[in-house]
Structure 1
Amino acid sequence: MLRTRFTALLTAFLLLLTTVLSTATAAAKPTLDLPATGGPFPVGTTNLHLVDHARPDPRAPAPGPRELMVQLWYPAVPVGARARYGDPSVDRHYADLITALGLGRGEPFLDRVRPTARLDAPVLPGRWPLLLHSHGRGLMRSTTTAIAEGLAANGYVVAAVDHTYDAAAVRFPDGRTATANRPAKPTEPVLSAEVQVRVADLRFTLDQLSTTATPLRHRLDPRRTGVFGHSIGGDTAAEAMRADRRFRVGANLDGAFWGEVRDKGTPGPFALFSAGTVDHPSFASWRANQRSWGRHFTLPAGVHSTPTDISLFPEVSGLRDLLKDHPDLYRQLFGTLDGVRTTQLYRAYLTALFDHHLTGRPAPLLDQNSPHWPEHNLLWSHP
């Protein structure tokens, strides 16, 4: 399965990256700057702790309400310090993995990744459309920070949800850290059940953003809401549209379909962005049953991690050179495309998708192959 293969490769990548970086001298430690946003608006970010008292957490080791951490990116007044990438406990989680596997004392590296967004910067005046994001299985809300910053710079509020006990590690404001406890080899029914928990997370987050006193409550236009996700988060986005019509348009970044969407499609516009050359059986089923506006784009030279920030690490850390003696592993982890280029590609296509269906702007990029993005192919369209 796409997800199982990616999890194994991701683990290998994290092990290798941390081992490589831990051997560097203190003076030589690099910083990994995310690409410039490419949009007209400066970007801010903030974090929210949400508690769903009406829903017991099905994954928690002890009874209690479902708790979530949500990160927002938004058009902002450019004041304040640049935000951290993720959270120190998440960084420590990966370093501890190295130690636990007997590969030496792991050293954190995510703290060297430098986002563009400024922490807790004031939101710009206006009523901004809202996009919710669901991460891949075992990843975290920060994994698509570069795409989120690009969308925010083009006039969107992006809310990325950490799906607690599925995300690698989630740190709450009181210092508690919840680590992943999902099955390592899930069956299709297990994956479908996980998607339903995720869908409930997204719907609750949308409720809270729309009705409670969050910093952006009066800056959101709830009539213009979209949803997207990576891997199992892509299926989550599609199922969220079936469950809640407030999600008007959605996108799946290289995830198979496990639920009703596979056989019934989505009730609104939806785009699938697959990576690699494998046409998963669920892709064909979705195409056959999608009655609303739909597009399937392929990135043949991409891999499952291409739509995430993982694709940027070799470009800004020198890992491409450090892996020159391991070309097969490099290609499996990163494909053959430049990470900055693919980040810009996904930003362009997602911005066009949401602009077209949430603001009514023309989007010819979605209707034909583009000479500017020759590596990206339109495989299928309806209508």
Structure 2
Amino acid sequence: MSAPASGLTRRSVLTAAGTAGLLLATAPTAPAASADRRAGHRAGRVRLRLPRPTGTHRIGTTSLHLIDRSRRDPWTSPAAPRELMISLWYPARNAPDARRAPWLPPAATELYRRDAAASLRTSLDDVDFPVTHARRNAPVEARRRAHPVVLFSPGYGSFRALGTALVEDLASRGYVVVTIDHTHEAEFVEFPGGRIVASRQPAEPTDEDHALALRVRCEDTRFVLDTLTALNAGDHRRPFRGALDLSRVGMFGHSFGGATAAETMARDRRIHAGVDLDGSIFGEVARTGLDRPFLLMASEGHGRDNDESWAEFWSHLRGWRRHLSLRDSGHMAYTDLSPLGRQLIRALPIPAPVVAALTNDIGTIDPARSVSAQRAYLAAFFDLHLRRRDSPLWSGPSPRHPEIEFVP
């Protein structure tokens, strides 16, 4: 089915139906387990794990609470300055005493646990949510040359932690990756002190609501870039002075976050290369195009032949461009919920009808193969365009990643 005139499809806009809905949207079909087997799984705790990063660098992470006093938040009344939470993931020095950071902070974890349990129709009391591979507030790795920077924007109604498997891997390969929560559009954002700010999006957003969200996302991203400039110059809050090479900046996003990457590139030339993970293009950039490198990565069944926004955008790309498709994948295969959902399905007594209804959203691809292919091509893209390091992956289909199809 072709995309509507607005350029919005289910691939570019995740409904703000709650974090439980996001979790449900990723669980693959699995054979029904026997009652005895399910009872056995319940005997101990279930520990969810993220795939281990593949790079050679240790990883650190830190979160920042930002306030943009030059803007009024369009979703608050009375109007207040725009607040954001971001996380920086970076190559770090050895810090054995620093604790590994959780996937979600404490209050957000409990909110996610409650809502996901209701939708999955099973208890999550014995589930431990992931711990990342990054050491919290570890010192930045010292190098003669500063690290290139990559920004990440999640899907509509989603949150920044859902890209952690891809983000950690880039950081382990020598990038500083900055993830952004778009407050009042994200399903929830936890601020310092455990303050939770929930979504203020309507239950059925209109094209005008989506257009406003995209504009705010672009402004958020540009403000984050300004903040990184201050940090690199020696902002006292975090020791990142001289660690960020802001002449080498890229951006990627999933779903509506991919549209955000494209539109922000059109508005801000500080971003030199972009990637859209399965999101329809929305905004002026579909018509104006870009003169810088851009990568489209699709789930199976999504592409230029059935998404008019991709076809239009592709025709206006004037720089390096590629269109890849991930075989046997669904839209949500490009998030952490693919590996985590599979683990929950295997460990918990989730009703078969609930599991069966989710197959179209995650696809049948093995999560480990999926994550490996995504990591390889994301790194190859940013290595080529931010580091000038070519890769044989761009010469054609690779036997190491047969799940990736090149779309001419």
Q: TM-score, normalised by structure 2?
A: 0.84
Q: Which residue of 1 aligns with 2:360?
A: 332
| Deviation (angstroms), 1:242 | 0.6
Q: Which residue of 2 aligns with 1:51?
A: 67
Deviation at 1:252, TM superposition (A): 0.5
Contact kept, 8 Å, 2:12 with 2:278, in 1: the verdict is no
> Hey, what's the Cα distance between the residues in 2 that align with 1:375 and 1:82?
32
Correspondence for 1:364 among 389, 392, 396: 392
Given candidates 292, 297, 300, the residue that maps to 1:276 is 300
What is the count of residue pairs matched by the alignment? Answer: 376
Change (3 A) 1:256 1:49: same
Deviation per residue, 1:290-325 (Å, 9 max, x gap): 111111111131111111100111444453885694
Match of 2:137 among 110, 120, 123: 120
Question: Is 1:64 aligned to 2:80, yes or no?
Answer: yes
- Superposed counterparts of 1:77-96, under 5 Å: 77-79=93-95, 80-96=98-114
Task: Say whether residues 1:14 and 2:23 are aligned partners.
Answer: yes
Structure 2: which amino acid aligns with 1:2? R
Question: For 1:324-350, what per-residue CA distance to the aligned partner results, in whole angstroms no more than 9, with x for missing partners?
Answer: 945632422321111122111111111
CA change 1:26–1:39 in 2 (3 A) is same
Q: Counterparts of 1:102 and 1:330 in 2: how far apart (Å)? A: 11
The 5 A counterparts of 1:191-210 are 191-210=210-229
Calculate the aligned-residue CA RMSD, in Å. Answer: 2.9
Decide which of 2, 26, 29 is 2:10's aligned counterpart. Answer: 2
Partner of 2:337: 310
Q: Which moved more, 1:263-272 or 1:210-219?
A: 210-219
Map of 1:1-383 to 2, 5 A cutoff? 1-3=9-11, 7=15, 11-12=20-21, 14=23, 28-79=44-95, 80-97=98-115, 107=125, 109=127, 111-126=128-143, 127-212=146-231, 213=235, 214-279=238-303, 280-317=307-344, 319=346, 325-326=352-353, 328-380=356-408
Instruction: Name stretches of at least 5 consecutive residues in structure 1 with no aligned partner.
Output: none
Distance 2:342 2:124 in 1: 22
The separation in 2 between residues aligned to 1:67 and 1:38, in whole angstroms, is 33
Mapped to 2, the partners of 1:108 and 1:211 lie a distance apart of: 43
SS of equivalent to 1:28? coil
Structure 1 residues 376 and 83: CA distance shift in structure 2, 3 A: same
Unpaired segments of 5 or more residues in structure 2? Answer: 1-8, 28-32, 34-38
CA distance 1:300–1:15, change in 2 (3 Å): closer
Deviations 1:151-185 (A, max 9, x none): 00001000000100111211111432111111232
Distance 2:192 2:24 in 1: 28
Structure 1 residue 6 displacement after superposition: 5.3
For the residue of structure 2 that corresponds to 1:358, the secondary structure is helix
**Closer, same or farther: CA 232–222 of 1 in aligned 2, 3 Å:** same
**Displacement after TM superposition at 1:267 (Å):** 2.8
Identity of aligned residues (%): 37
Contact (CA 8 Å) 1:72, 1:159: kept in 2 or not? Answer: yes
Mapped partners of 2:170, 2:378: distance in 1: 8
Letter in 2 for 1:148: V
User: Secondary structure of 2:283's partner?
Assistant: coil
Q: Distance in 2 between matches of 1:247 and 1:152?
A: 18
Supply the distance in 2 between the matched residues of 1:5 and 1:332 (Cα, whole angstroms).
16
Query: Which fold has the larger relative contact order, with Cα–Cα distance below 8 Å and residues 6 or more apart in sequence?
Result: 2
